[in-house]
Structures are given as structure tokens and as C-alpha cells.
Structure 1
């Protein structure tokens, strides 16, 4: 009899699994609204399915519907508090709610901290939870429990799990705490250890934040030697245009970006023309500057920096 019952259930179980896989695929394809609708419909007949609840929370979170996502993740932590990823996701949406509403933030801090801490305790290898704690303890004011030493503690735990993450976390802590020499040291260590595009980008952004455009360009050139991304040509041109430095190199890189452009590069060609307009404006070449800013505005007519740049060019 048990075998017969199991046999009868198999088609329903297969359908159930297929539907959840379909929702997962929708989320991977960034079709978040469709995933939300299908998750809600599925939960009407399977209200206690934790996978479906998590998928609904994910779909809502990607749409920045933080309150609704919080409701779903709360169900998960109430049902299975021992699952680290449920705690991490719950803490994450609470954190986004806190960023959105500063008046509510104070009341949410304790729950955010508790959720991330539980996630880290439950899973000794949970990298994302430790990253969240590094950032949380650095960004919180001391009166609400902020602590550089706690941030460094979790950064060390990250380093024990992944040297690259640990070095990047320490770089973040020291950059946030206005200790640029130590921040630069650890970002460079991350590049030496891992050499990923993320590692290089962290150092570039650090140099930009520190108003060191020459070092930023040098690092972008080193990045390109290893990763050969066309978008890096745009980044060099951007730094050159913004800081009025190495303008000929910046122009050449932007022209190369336009020549090799594809949708995968991510930055619309209008922005490359905007940067070229900036460079030609620095060079007092009004004709070329107008040519490029007009192309940028034709592509994206509502971008305020483009319109402001045209006004500056007209006043040359």
C-alpha cells in the first residue's frame, strides 16, 4: 500500500519540483515580478514550503520591496532558526529597511546585529555574513555598538577562510577609518593574492576617493594587462576627464572604448562622448567638445550632467 501511495504522489512531487525550478530560473533571468507572482500562486496550495517562501522573499528583495521581503524571511527564521542563510537574508533586508528609513533604523539595529551574528555562529564558513558584520560594526556609531575592533575581528575570520576576502575587508576597515596607508597596503595584498577584477577595482576606487588620479590610472592600466576589459578604457578616460590629467591618453582610451564597444561593456556610449566633451573642454576645443556633448545628449537627452556640461562648453 505504501508503495502504491508513493507511486501516486510522484507526479505531483515532480510537478512541484519543476515549478520551483521554474521560479528559480525566473529569478536568475531577473524576471523578478513574474517570479513573485508564480511564488505567491504556488504558496496558495503549498503554504509551508520553505523553498517557495525563500524564493518569494528573494523575488521581493530584488525589487526592493523590503517590508514584504522581511515578512517572508521572518517566516523562515521562525520556522528554521538554525539555518544560517535564513538568518543572513533576514538581517540583510532589515539592513536595507534601516538604510531607507533613518527613524526606524535605531529600532532595527539590534535585530540586524543578532541575525548576522547568528548566521556567522551557525555557519563557520559563511563569508557573506562576516562581510556584513565587518561593514555593520564600522558604520554604526559607537553609541549604537559600532566598533572598529569588532570589524577587524570579523575581517580576521574572513582572512582565515579566504585571504583575499580578509585583505579586502581590512582594506575597507582602514579606508573607512581614514588610515590610507594601511588601506592601500591591504588592497595591494588582495591583488597579489587573488588578482581578480574586484581586487583591482577596490584599489582604483580607493585612489579615486583619495584624490590620487595618477595612481588610479596606473592601476587601471595594470588591471587591463591582466583582464583585457574594454570597459577599463572608459574608466581611464573618466579619471582623465574628471581630474584634468593625461588628457591625450584619456581621449585615446575613450576612442578605443567607442571603437570596440558592445552591450556587455555596461557603460552606454553616451557617457564616453560626455567624457570626450569634458576632455576637449579642458583643452579649450569648443567645436570638438560640442560635437561630443551633442551626441551624448541625443543618445540620453535627460541626463542632467550632460546638459550642464553643454552649458559650460557654450560659455567657453
Structure 2
């Protein structure tokens, strides 16, 4: 065999192995891309199921998504959120597991994304709320709050306000929220939190003033996204609650609940609640005919027998 033939044969071997390596590598990349695509699809299915309040189905999807894409922190965040929804209707036997699952998933988010602000806030709340045997830890809550303050002083103020609120140091919490509002007046959630806290400590006039201001501001927005709509719903409900508590502000409360009802025409549960709350406002003003109409409207869309019985008892008493 001549030298030229040997060189040619050697290069053929090199070319063969190079092509084989490229094919294997491309196959692995394709397989990885397919796996990631399946994981993302399952994540989207979990999101939709959670939005549709099909939480058990959402849980199945998100657990499968975790297996396929274990390094996606948003998957663990959604998993924690699904657990939080399941807690609302959980039995005493399963609630412990849901709380632990929620905490563990949020901790996984921070392992993958150490500066994840939302996960840190949720963990601060959980660490403060849970007993030690479920993973509650005030020291860890404070560590996270300090980290948030280094990332963004406003986020740190919010986290520390939540810690003070859990410890019933309401004055300190109010001060931190007021400081945050001065720094970021566009953060409406902070103002809602402040109004709720003011109401909790009996500063109802101040709270009502803030709620009414927020209601007007949100309704005058050029466009209202889902988040703003949810915030408006909370504000309107709290206006009506304060009015009933104070036996005052009934004009503002009527307006608030009329808007609340319009806001939730496609949600029977919230629509029914709106009718019942507006009926209570009318009853507080001795407007029984209006109240009866609203209560009967509520009966037509509410599925809960317990709630319907409550409405019937109220109708009998009018």
C-alpha cells in the first residue's frame, strides 16, 4: 500500500468517526429538544387546568413536567401554587402534606434561581406561618427578607412588613408599607396591603379613604389587565365590608358592589356573592324590596345548598 493510500485510508476513518459523532450528537440534541417540548406542553396544560380550577388534574400535569424538565424553576413555582389552591379544600389528613409540598417546591425554586423574588416572598410568609414541625422558621424568614432588601429595598420592606404583621407588630408593618408606597406609588398591591392593615388596627376612615382612592384609580386606567381586575375586585369587596362594619359609606358601597357585579358577570360564584353583599347593604338601609330581588337572583346561580339555605333564612326574616 502506497503512502498516499495509507493517508487516504486514515482520513476516511477520521471522517467516518467525525460523521458518526455528529449524528449521535444531533440525535441527542433532538431527543433533548423533544423532551423539553413535552415538558413545556405539560407545564402549559397544568397552567390551564389550574386556571380552570381543576387542581388535581393540574397536579398530575405539573408532576410529569418536573420529570421531563427538572431544571425549570417556574415549574416548581406553579407546583407550589397548585398546592396552595388545594389547601383551601383539603381535609385535615392531607393539608399537612400540601403545606410541606408547597414549602419544598418554593425552596427548589430558590435552588435553581437564587434571586427569585416571588418565591422568597412566599417562603417568608410560609416560614412565619408554619409551625416548626412543618418547616416553619422565623430565622430563615428574616434571612430571606434581608436578601430581598439587598436585591431591592422596596421588596425588603414588603417582606419585613409581613414578618412584623405575623408578629402583630402592626405599627412597624404600617410604617414599612407607607415607606414603600412613597418610593413606588405605582405598586397598587402595597397600597391594598396597607389598607387591609389599617382596617385590622381599627383605622377604618383611613382605610376607606385609601380603598376609594384605589378604586377610582384602577377604574380610570386606560386598559385594565387581569391583575388590575383582580386588584379592583379585592378593593370593591373591602369597601363594602368596611361600609357594613361602620354602618356608613352606603352610597360608596352600593356603587362598589354594582361595579363588582358587572366585573364578575361570567363567574357565577363571585356574582352570587356580589348579589348577597349588595342585598346586605340594602337591608342595612331598610331597602328590603331591593334586597329580596338580589337574594332571589343569587339563588338562581348559586350551587351550594348551604348558601341557598342561608339565603332562604334571610328571606324569611325580611
TM bin, normalised by shorter chain, reads: 0.5 to 0.7
Is the contact made by 1:270 and 1:300 (CA closer than 8 Å) also made in structure 2? yes
Is the contact made by 1:233 and 1:253 (CA closer than 8 Å) also made in structure 2? no
Matches of 1:265 and 1:192 in 2, distance apart? 32
Is the contact made by 1:171 and 1:182 (CA closer than 8 Å) also made in structure 2? yes
Is the contact made by 1:139 and 1:146 (CA closer than 8 Å) also made in structure 2? yes
**Post-superposition offset of 1:65:** 3.7
The 3-state SS of whatever aligns with 1:49 is helix
C-alpha distance 218-107 of structure 1, shift in aligned 2 (>3 A): closer
Residue of structure 1 equivalent to 2:242: 239
Task: Say yes or no: does 1:53 pair with 2:42.
Answer: yes
Deviations 1:11-70, CA, capped at 9 Å, x for gaps: xxxxxxxxxxxxxxxxxxxxxxxxxxxxxxxx9xx9972221111222233344444333
Is the contact made by 2:276 and 2:295 (CA closer than 8 Å) also made in structure 1? no
C-alpha distance 308-235 of structure 1, shift in aligned 2 (>3 A): farther
Residue of structure 1 equivalent to 2:133: 143
Deviations 1:217-273, CA, capped at 9 Å, x for gaps: 1322443564456876774344122232xx2xx122245447878823777563564
Is the contact made by 1:278 and 1:309 (CA closer than 8 Å) also made in structure 2? no
The 3-state SS of whatever aligns with 1:206 is helix
Structure 2, unaligned stretches of length 5 or more?
Answer: 1-33, 221-231
Matches of 1:255 and 1:115 in 2, distance apart? 42
Matches of 2:258 and 2:85 in 1, distance apart? 39
Q: From 92, 98, 108, give the equivalent of 1:102.
A: 92
Matches of 2:98 and 2:242 in 1, distance apart? 39
Structure 1, unaligned stretches of length 5 or more?
Answer: 1-42, 281-285
Residue of structure 2 equivalent to 1:36: none
Count of residues in correspondence between the two structures:
260
TM-score with structure 1 setting the length:
0.66
C-alpha distance 275-157 of structure 1, shift in aligned 2 (>3 A): farther
TM-score with structure 2 setting the length:
0.66
Instruction: Please say which of residues 262-271 and 135-144 is displaced more in the overlay.
Output: 262-271
Larger radius of gyration: 2
Deviations 1:48-107, CA, capped at 9 Å, x for gaps: 722211112222333444443333323333333222112222333345445524323445
Residue of structure 2 equivalent to 1:264: 263
Is the contact made by 2:154 and 2:183 (CA closer than 8 Å) also made in structure 1? yes
Residue of structure 2 equivalent to 1:33: none
Instruction: Please say which of residues 72-81 and 135-144 is displaced more in the overlay.
Output: 72-81
Task: Say yes or no: does 1:91 pair with 2:80.
Answer: yes
Instruction: Please say which of residues 120-129 and 93-102 is displaced more in the overlay.
Output: 93-102
C-alpha distance 299-191 of structure 1, shift in aligned 2 (>3 A): farther
